[in-house]
Chains A and B, each alone.
Chain A
Amino acid sequence: MEPLALYIHWPFCLRKCPYCDFNSHVRERIDQATWRDALRRELAHEAGRVGRRPLASIFFGGGTPSLMEPATAAALIEDARHLFDPLPDLEITLEANPTSVEAGRLAEIRAAGVNRLSLGVQALDGEALRFLGREHSAAEAMAALETGRRIFPRLSFDLIYARPGQPEAAWRDELRRALALAADHLSLYQLTIEPGTRFATEYARGAFALPEPDEAARLYWATVEEAGRFGLAPYEVSNYAQPGAESRHNLAYWRYGDYLGIGPGAHQRLLLGGEMLAARRHRAPEEWLARIARQGHGTVEEEALVPTDRAREALLMGLRLAEGIDPARIAARSGLTLAEAVDPAMLLACIEEGYLEWTETGRLRATDEGRMRLDAMLPVLLR
């Protein structure tokens, strides 16, 4: 039986970062008890629909889930353990910001059952942190990483690169310092301008420029090279891990597995009775709360996806992974064979061009060159 990944969304931040388009909100007061109860209610509601299943991962994302009282995380973990059948190596990740306040809670968070910490470091350079609108300093980030590594069995952190005017040499240097901090997993994102963010407005106004595609490509190869020296391989476009240290939870998305999404704006995919049900919760925190109080769940939309859409989703996620996709799994998850899901002539053209390849085990994977151009490849490849 397909194991389950559980996502729990904490929708609050102290302030909005200018690059972030995630569902996060700034509120002066948050009634922790109300939120704890509501999240637990929605979890119980969804668990009732899915039934007992093996549980592979829990992920507290946000927003800033480190602002959640550790007791809330503890209660939700406890519930999940009872509602599902936790696998022995159940991965429980929580995202945290490296401010000193939040770092002070790390021990409690560990005690709540979280065994993997993901720190939103973003940069190890003071000026860059200010540009990115972060609340913490480079020193605080180093301190938080130090504490995190001591307390948690597994540690990951995020960095944002290809920032305006960032020279390759400076990025290599920053990345090397980050790699020396001995995390087993890194998420290294190129700065992207998302619509509706403050950066989108400033970028449109010409306040700053991003590296040209050729330069972005050079920075990408530099990143792969530096991470490789420390034994971290790019198992996904922007994610690097030591063998076995990959984020199991995120792999569930990329492998188009079943996942529950609890909390405002959370998304869900469940293959139930041959149908792929896609559900979405209300994004606005207060409205979501009201719906929980009224009906026990915050779902605003649930639809059964047609096979073409399922195949598109499975492939657009799966081809991001270095391991590629297993045609049999695509068929099982989407209801379409690979031959039905892609344009065979374009598949051939992509293979000839060296963008895609078949592995010895019969998987289809994007080569490094192909993965770098995935967004351009998908619309021509997929039907």
Chain B
Amino acid sequence: MPDTPLARIRNFSIIAHIDHGKSTLADRLIQATGTVTAREMKEQLLDNMELERERGITIKAQTVRLAYKAKDGETYILNLMDTPGHVDFAYEVSRSLAACEGSLLVVDASQGVEAQTLANVYQAIDANHEIVPVLNKIDLPAAEPERVKQQIEDVIGIDASDAVEISAKTGLNIEGVLEAIVTRLPPPTGDAAKTTTALLVDSWYDAYLGVVVLVRVRDGHLRKGQRIRMMSNGAVHTIEQVGVFTPKMIAAESLGPGEMGYVTAAIKTVADTNVGDTITDDRNPAAEALPGFKPSIPVVWCGLYPVDADDFEKLRESVGKLRLNDSSFHYEMETSAALGLGYRCGFLGLLHLEIVQERLSREFDLDLIATAPSVVYKLKRTNGEEFDLHNPADMPDPSVIAEIQEPWIKATIMVPDEYLGPVLTLCNERRGRQVELTYVGTRAMAVYRLPLNEVVFDFYDRLKSLSRGYASFDYQVDGYEAGDLVKISILVNAEPVDALSFMAHRSQADRRGRQICERLKELIPRQLFKIPIQAAIGGRVIARETISAMSKDVTAKCYGGDISRKRKLLDKQKEGKKRMRQFGKVEIPQSAFIAALKMDA
């Protein structure tokens, strides 16, 4: 396949809030260009993972090459890059956007701009994208195209007067979108004569091909048999196959400048391929990597344990397999007195955590329990030593701590006016600091700086319920700040339960401590002895509950000579105790801890 002239290539992505019709529009573009036959067409064609289809979100980046014969008579190659829309994958999004020159901004003509749209569109602007606004669902009676256009101009500050009005669902004006891509988005730049540089946009594991790497070629070519080098770590591989997505993988001779496609090179795990890395020619390497590479760093950590301790081996295998395909997922083994053997796992954010958990339970059929998510704290010891803390259980004695820093975020919340009050109260309760409060019609847009720690603990659920589901929320990590943070230990029968300890701001400590004690009181069944439950900061108890002893538990009728039966019952009870966790003279079923943690999630 000869190189496509740069002037006839357009690389673009689609930015949209969830449910605003991104995947449907992608489906229509694929159909309209005849890329996929009607028989092969299925909904959300680009979202492969079962989870993606079900939740209507995109987790991995995907691309599809469309051939479109435009009104000017020329045939253009349109590479559609479908990106994950969520902030957890913000870095992946930024790499996907860096591979394109323009974006379609899809906005629901009845609902208007949402917080998530904003974050992504700003990223696209940062990536110097040309942006074409597209108003979707124009056929709905509630559609207000003029109002939404005005909103796009007011909030985002881009000209929306030429917005393409469509209905992805009915197929209305899809042609208009294709023409806008050709006429309004710029072609890529690049030089076929220069040495190879290509951006590693994403990668995934394929059972037959090994790791498949999604690339955007900047300069030079990628060819079958070429020895390539990863510039971040110097690893060298020989290309086995290059090709494009239609969206099926179709092998090609080479990929030239401006092109998007894939490379396979007998790479064993995706951990060997870093998103944002630059691929170059091994014999004639580029002097400088493409800008913007950074290794993925987990932001949120939690413990994952099998509900049934016998499943640990299965969990061990499963996290290994998952990691094959998700290099931003981190894990290390840990043991907990309350939950047994498990893994401390690191994630890009809360959605990533949820997705990994769901994939483990769904794809690997594991029944899992997660401890409360914790952010990464930066600790400074009195002796000047600094380290990262991602498990509250590892927190040293406060007397040797000079300072604790916690990550902050910049959150954007869009909410209908009538729910603004409770939302602001929530943000203030969570130690938020208002940065900006503006109105867009009847919708308020609040920008807050918040400690991430306050957000990982049920913030999103509270926000949703306060606003009856109308608030939309997005955030980006925004540096570290010192805070008055304490570790709260939960003691059952005077013994600390490692899996339940957590970090909190001193001002929240009493409330959170009381909350969890009350929960445990409800969850732990009464037993022979009364059980004190306490929350403590260091040696100081801040909350206390007592589970009273059971009032009566004795077999009424125990005569007749069949003592064996009673004994066997007793043997069984003793056997059951093996599933219990011993806290002094008290034994607590693991299920109670699991329930306590589930309520937290």
Q: With A349-B585, A373-B528, A375-B555 in contact, is A253–B560 under 8 Å at CB?
A: yes
Q: With A268-B561, A376-B528 in contact, is A371–B554 under 8 Å at CB?
A: yes
Of A35-43, A131-139, A201-209, A259-267, the stretch lying at the interface with chain B is A259-267
What separation, in Å, do the CA atoms of A247 and B262 have in the docked complex? 88
Task: State whether the Cβ of B562 lies closer than 8 Å to any Cβ in chain A.
Answer: yes
Q: B527–A379 contact, CB under 8 A?
A: no
Task: State whether the Cβ of A345 lies closer than 8 Å to any Cβ in chain B.
Answer: yes
The minimal Cβ–Cβ distance linking A106 to chain B, given in whole angstroms, is 22
Q: A379–B577 contact, CB under 8 A?
A: yes
A-side interface size class: 35 or more
Q: With A238-B556, A317-B558 in contact, is A376–B550 under 8 Å at CB?
A: yes
Q: B552–A378 contact, CB under 8 A?
A: no
Instruction: Specify which chain A residues have a CB less than 8 angstroms from the CB of B570 in the assembled complex.
Output: 312, 316, 378-379, 382
Instruction: Specify which chain A residues have a CB less than 8 angstroms from the CB of B560 in the assembled complex.
Output: 7, 22, 61, 253, 267
Instruction: Specify which chain A residues have a CB less than 8 angstroms from the CB of B556 in the assembled complex.
Output: 189-192, 237-238
Task: State whether the Cβ of A250 lies closer than 8 Å to any Cβ in chain B.
Answer: yes
- Can you report 20 residue pairs joining A to B where beta carbons are below 8 Å apart? A22-B560, A214-B551, A214-B552, A217-B551, A237-B558, A254-B559, A267-B560, A267-B562, A312-B571, A320-B554, A349-B585, A355-B528, A372-B551, A373-B528, A373-B550, A375-B553, A378-B570, A379-B573, A379-B577, A382-B570
Tell me the interface secondary structure of chain B in the complex.
loop
Tell me the B518-566 residues at the A interface (CB within 8 Å).
526-529, 549-564, 566
In chain B, what residue has the closest Cβ to A379? B573
The 7 closest A-B pairs by CB, nearest first: A267-B561, A379-B573, A217-B551, A217-B552, A189-B556, A376-B528, A376-B553
Q: B528–A380 contact, CB under 8 A?
A: yes
Q: B554–A373 contact, CB under 8 A?
A: yes
What separation, in Å, do the CA atoms of A379 and B529 have in the docked complex? 13
Q: B552–A372 contact, CB under 8 A?
A: yes
Q: B561–A261 contact, CB under 8 A?
A: yes
What total of chain B residues lie within 8 Å of the partner, measured CB to CB? 30
The minimal Cβ–Cβ distance linking B113 to chain A, given in whole angstroms, is 52
Task: State whether the Cβ of A326 lies closer than 8 Å to any Cβ in chain B.
Answer: no
Q: A237–B561 contact, CB under 8 A?
A: no
The minimal Cβ–Cβ distance linking A56 to chain B, given in whole angstroms, is 15
User: B residues engaging A (CB < 8 A)?
Assistant: 526-529, 549-564, 566-567, 570-571, 573-574, 576-577, 585, 587
Instruction: Specify which chain B residues have a CB less than 8 angstroms from the CB of A376 in the assembled complex.
Output: 527-528, 550, 553
Instruction: Specify which chain A residues have a CB less than 8 angstroms from the CB of B576 in the assembled complex.
Output: 379
Instruction: Specify which chain A residues have a CB less than 8 angstroms from the CB of B587 in the assembled complex.
Output: 380
In chain B, what residue has the closest Cβ to A239? B559
User: A residues engaging B (CB < 8 A)?
Assistant: 7, 22, 61, 189-192, 213-214, 216-217, 220, 237-238, 250, 253-254, 256, 259, 261, 266-269, 278, 280, 309, 312-313, 316-317, 320, 345-346, 349-350, 353, 355, 371-380, 382
Q: With A213-B550, A377-B528, A379-B573 in contact, is A259–B561 under 8 Å at CB?
A: yes
Instruction: Specify which chain B residues have a CB less than 8 angstroms from the CB of A192 in the assembled complex.
Output: 555-557
Q: With A261-B561, A268-B561, A373-B549 in contact, is A353–B529 under 8 Å at CB?
A: yes
Q: A316–B553 contact, CB under 8 A?
A: no
Q: A267–B563 contact, CB under 8 A?
A: yes
Contact of A316 among B528, B550, B566, B585 (CB under 8 A): B566
The minimal Cβ–Cβ distance linking B584 to chain A, given in whole angstroms, is 9
What separation, in Å, do the CA atoms of A355 and B552 have in the docked complex? 12
What separation, in Å, do the CA atoms of A379 and B552 have in the docked complex? 15
The minimal Cβ–Cβ distance linking B156 to chain A, given in whole angstroms, is 58
Instruction: Specify which chain A residues have a CB less than 8 angstroms from the CB of B549 in the assembled complex.
Output: 353, 373
Q: A382–B574 contact, CB under 8 A?
A: yes
In chain B, what residue has the closest Cβ to A216? B552
Q: A253–B563 contact, CB under 8 A?
A: yes
In chain B, what residue has the closest Cβ to A189? B556
Q: B563–A237 contact, CB under 8 A?
A: no
Q: A346–B561 contact, CB under 8 A?
A: no
Q: A349–B529 contact, CB under 8 A?
A: yes
What separation, in Å, do the CA atoms of A373 and B564 have in the docked complex? 20
What separation, in Å, do the CA atoms of A214 and B550 have in the docked complex? 8
